[in-house]
Structure 1
Amino acid sequence: MKPSLAKGTRDFSAQEVSRRKYIINTLQKNFELFGFQALETPSFENLSTLTGKYGEEGDRLIFKILNSGDFTSKVNTEDWEAKNAKKLTSQISDKALRYDLTVPFARYVALNHGQLNFPFKRFQIQPVWRADRPQKGRFREFYQCDADVVGSTSLWQEVEFVQLYAKSFKDLGLEAEIHMNNRKILSGLAEYAGISDQLIDFTVALDKLDKIGKDGVVKEMTEKGISEEAIEKLDFLFHQSENAIENLEALKEKFNEIEIGKQGVEELEFVISTVYNLGIPTENLVFNITLARGLDYYTGAIFEVKAKGVEMGSIGGGGRYDNLTEMFGVKNIPGIGISFGLDRIYLVLEELNLFPENAISKIDYLFANYGDAEALEANKLIAQLRNKGISAELYPENAKLKKQFTYAERKAIPQIVFLGKDEIESQTITLKNLDSGEQKTISWTEFLS
């Protein structure tokens, strides 16, 4: 059988793994600097834990796991013959791969809230799975790097997350725009247009503006039954100025008698003005009134990050989800979190040639193999190098030197160490630099120092 990869998955070479580690280590360092602690949860959850948390579209993208053994034995015959997928799913599957890291985190908080110290700040770097259509920058298996705080309604948390985004992308050498909105503003807009009962349809369509354009959004709203009059009232959404504060001031007038909308504007105004005062460049922070993020659980601030200078989807996103743990029977635990899209960040850094040289792990020395006796002495030196944190390896076979040279070149090992009988007797090594061609003989003591 010809080997193949499952669609939407990838193998990673040594270079790719090293570069991914560079991103992860940069993010982890910043998570810890901001006071977040590490957490890991299982790769799969009970299906009931995940269902209903991501909206109708999200539910369709959850990878279900078939029950063990003869999973068809307890299936209702009528449902089987009718090919009723919705009813059959609950009968043949009760587990699913996690869709994101936020819902499993909320489940963790709900299970352990009695023992946690609030506000509880955690970061999590693990893979997630979505049964999405694979395309550039979108995979079925990918890593998320999340940071969340639960147990605080303070808007200073929103300010801190903007700072965390800004510092992390600066450390990666990446120019990024942090787009912000507030779910309460979207609720206010729906009330302003008289379509509060169609809030989800409205926000899901609006969130696609950058993908399908104004005409596409209007068409989708119309297909969802949103009236022409409502769409006309919302036309100003497609004609925003570049000044965030100006746009918020304009909204205040429209929300004169809409309390939830006014609250959303005030919250966002505080965050944006505070972040400006803290020195985040204004061109890197965007009030995006059409930003909705189609997940049902956001209740306040919404974030989305886009890389400058490259065509790519969002490389980060998140928001406030004050009522998420209520779904697990635990009330009054507000939360807010953001996510970094590791795979897309990788693609952006690669496309813009922003990976530093030290993002690739290299072996420092290859010891040539002259036979078992010489190899034994070589291994003694190799062990001492490794104890000093210096990477080295012995070519495993007593092969022709040309073959050993080729091996070193292909692995980008910069230096070859020759330790033959003469060198062993004089306790020296001959060192050849493959880049410059320079060769010298030095004592073991000098080499190890």
Structure 2
Amino acid sequence: MELPRGMKDFEEQENANIEHIRYHFKKLSNLYGFSFMDPSPIELLSVLETKSGPAIKDEIYYFKDKGDREVALRFDFTVGLTRYISSQKSIKLPAKISSFGGVFRYDEPQKGRYRYFHQWDIEVYGKANLESEAEIIELTSRLFDSLLLKDITVDINHRNLVESYINQLFDSKDPQLVGDILRAVDKIAKKSKQEIIEEFKDRYDTEKLEKILEFSQIKGTIAEVEKQFDTSTLASWDDLKKLFESLENRGVSNIRINFGIVRGLDYYSGMVFEVFDKNSTLGALAGGGRYDSLTKAFGREDLGAAGVAGGVERIILTMQEQKILAEAKPNRVAVLYINDEMQKVAMSIASLLRLNNIPTDIDLAGRNLKKQMDIANNARISIIVGPQELEEGNVVMRDMQNGTEGTISLEKLTEDPNSVLNLEKL
């Protein structure tokens, strides 16, 4: 029996890594005042099409339920959260919401992302303002700091800025042209300049395509960008400068202006950003921006929105590349027994430790000591119950990392179960 293509089982270490990310994310989102919620995993297909149009069917899991309704599995959190907030007419604004969990996409499976994978997500709903956007980027940067990831860059841009340059360059305000060129720019991280030109040359002037792709390579600080290009003709340059300055004021130092960041989705309407590890080829670890047009599509003309989502499995791969997520053995204890007569005492000790919230393993099958050592390999400390030591009221304790041993009295173990985690003090 096999799983459907693109699906996988998540084993213990993978789940532990996901929970590690979840812990840091929830801690930070709470610190910044975000309310945590989990939007429904199933939406009406029409709701998901509000974000991405009918073509989204090619990229998601959708089906008819027993009520003959067209429904689909969520492909991100933004749609569900925006649907929910848009329906809450009396909600206090700004509303700050965070989510963490699994999403489904019918994309071609790739390294770091299967068809079911995990995301973290934060959104701010309310009147559009620069400080909301800065807070989202700040929290994102702090999350990567808390995960101890190095060489992380947050690249920021503004969609209006790129669109204004496209309109100037092509002397046109045709939405179809703008959309096509934005998609061309968005491909630059995945394809060569020549491949993109070949793809679009039948519809657009090659020289102008080359210019827009050169424009997309401009990046740096405010001063560096202004040396490379006359920004006075670009819409929203001042807005982007103010965002950059706000982030610097907040102590976010790993930011960079990058004219190549446009985000592929059509609903973005302002600031956009993506997060990269400079030494990785995995692509963006997180991305987001302002998307006021989506709340309008849900009937809330008065409601602005900005947010970000990050790919958990891709972040885990990056942490493993940097050797941050070493499979360190947790503070587990293995209780072993020399023979069947010692099993009863060993079981009692295991229960005592578990009652005191100490993760404890013990063999249930009555195997010999040699085979019991299999479970001890997953522990930091092992307790060995043997006849000779037990006669004296003691048990043996062994540090499984360095092999040192000691004994502890059953009386002390009963009075202070946590003492098993301090072998060096015995």
Q: Normalised by the size of structure 2, how large is the TM-score? A: 0.88
- Root-mean-square deviation (CA, aligned residues, Å) is 2.4
Moved more, 231-240 or 310-319: 231-240
Q: How many Å separate the matches in 1 of 2:224 and 2:278? A: 23
The residue aligned with 2:21 is 23
The residue aligned with 1:123 is 98
The residue aligned with 1:267 is 239
Q: Deviations over 1:337-393 (max 9, x none)?
A: 0112101001111122112565x545223333743x644433332233223221112
1:145 paired with 2:115, answer no
The residue aligned with 2:322 is 352
Q: How does 1:195-210 map to 2 (within 5 A)?
A: 195-197=172-174, 198-210=177-189
The residue aligned with 1:135 is 110
The residue aligned with 1:88 is none
Tell me which of 81, 84, 104 is aligned to 2:80.
104
Displacement after TM superposition at 1:179 (Å): 1.0
1:439 paired with 2:405, answer yes
Displacement after TM superposition at 1:421 (Å): 5.3
Amino acid at match of 2:311: G
Residues 369 and 397 in structure 1, CA contact (< 8 A), matched pair in contact too: no
Tell me which of 227, 233, 252 is aligned to 1:280.
252
Residues 209 and 216 in structure 1, CA contact (< 8 A), matched pair in contact too: no
Residues 339 and 368 in structure 2, CA contact (< 8 A), matched pair in contact too: no
SS at match of 2:358: coil
- What are the ranges of 5 or more consecutive residues in structure 1 without an aligned counterpart? 72-92, 256-260
Q: How many Å separate the matches in 1 of 2:171 and 2:57? A: 28
The residue aligned with 1:387 is 355
The residue aligned with 1:40 is 38
Q: Deviations over 1:392-435 (max 9, x none)?
A: 122102221111113322xx223332335555554322223334
Displacement after TM superposition at 1:286 (Å): 2.0
CA spacing shift, 1:27–1:369, aligned 2, 3 Å: farther
Q: Normalised by the size of structure 1, how large is the TM-score? A: 0.84
The residue aligned with 2:215 is 237
Q: Deviations over 1:73-130 (max 9, x none)?
A: xxxxxxxxxxxxxxxxxxxx6001111110111111122232x221110110011111
Q: How many Å separate the matches in 2 of 1:438 and 1:111? A: 62
The residue aligned with 1:254 is 233
CA spacing shift, 1:266–1:57, aligned 2, 3 Å: farther
Residues 251 and 265 in structure 1, CA contact (< 8 A), matched pair in contact too: no
The residue aligned with 1:367 is 336
SS at match of 2:193: helix
Amino acid at match of 2:354: R
Q: How does 1:387-406 map to 2 (within 5 A)?
A: 387-406=355-374
The residue aligned with 2:163 is 187
Give me the identity figure in percent: 28
Amino acid at match of 1:434: M
Q: How many Å separate the matches in 2 of 1:329 and 1:341? A: 29
Q: How many Å separate the matches in 1 of 2:393 and 2:157? A: 69
The residue aligned with 2:131 is 156
Q: How many Å separate the matches in 2 of 1:235 and 1:434? A: 57
Displacement after TM superposition at 1:147 (Å): 0.7
Tell me which of 383, 392, 395 is aligned to 1:417.
383
Q: Which runs of 4+ in 1 moved over 6 A?
A: none
- What are the ranges of 5 or more consecutive residues in structure 2 without an aligned counterpart? 420-426
SS at match of 1:291: coil
SS at match of 2:190: helix
The residue aligned with 2:422 is none
Amino acid at match of 1:299: S
Q: Deviations over 1:175-226 (max 9, x none)?
A: 2111111111122123212343222111111100111122223233334x23
Moved more, 127-136 or 268-277: 268-277
Q: How many Å separate the matches in 1 of 2:53 and 2:226? A: 28
SS at match of 1:418: strand
The residue aligned with 2:270 is 300
Q: How many Å separate the matches in 2 of 1:363 and 1:151? A: 47
Displacement after TM superposition at 1:287 (Å): 1.3
Displacement after TM superposition at 1:138 (Å): 2.9
The residue aligned with 1:79 is none
CA spacing shift, 1:38–1:68, aligned 2, 3 Å: same
Residues 18 and 361 in structure 1, CA contact (< 8 A), matched pair in contact too: no
Q: How many Å separate the matches in 2 of 1:406 and 1:143? A: 32
CA spacing shift, 1:7–1:235, aligned 2, 3 Å: closer
Moved more, 293-302 or 161-170: 161-170
Residues 34 and 98 in structure 2, CA contact (< 8 A), matched pair in contact too: yes
Amino acid at match of 1:208: K
Displacement after TM superposition at 1:53 (Å): 1.3
Q: How many Å separate the matches in 2 of 1:386 and 1:142? A: 32
Q: How many residues align?
A: 410
Q: How many Å separate the matches in 2 of 1:307 and 1:36? A: 26
The residue aligned with 2:305 is 335
CA spacing shift, 1:265–1:252, aligned 2, 3 Å: same
Q: How many Å separate the matches in 2 of 1:12 and 1:137? A: 13
Q: How many Å separate the matches in 1 of 2:325 and 2:34? A: 26
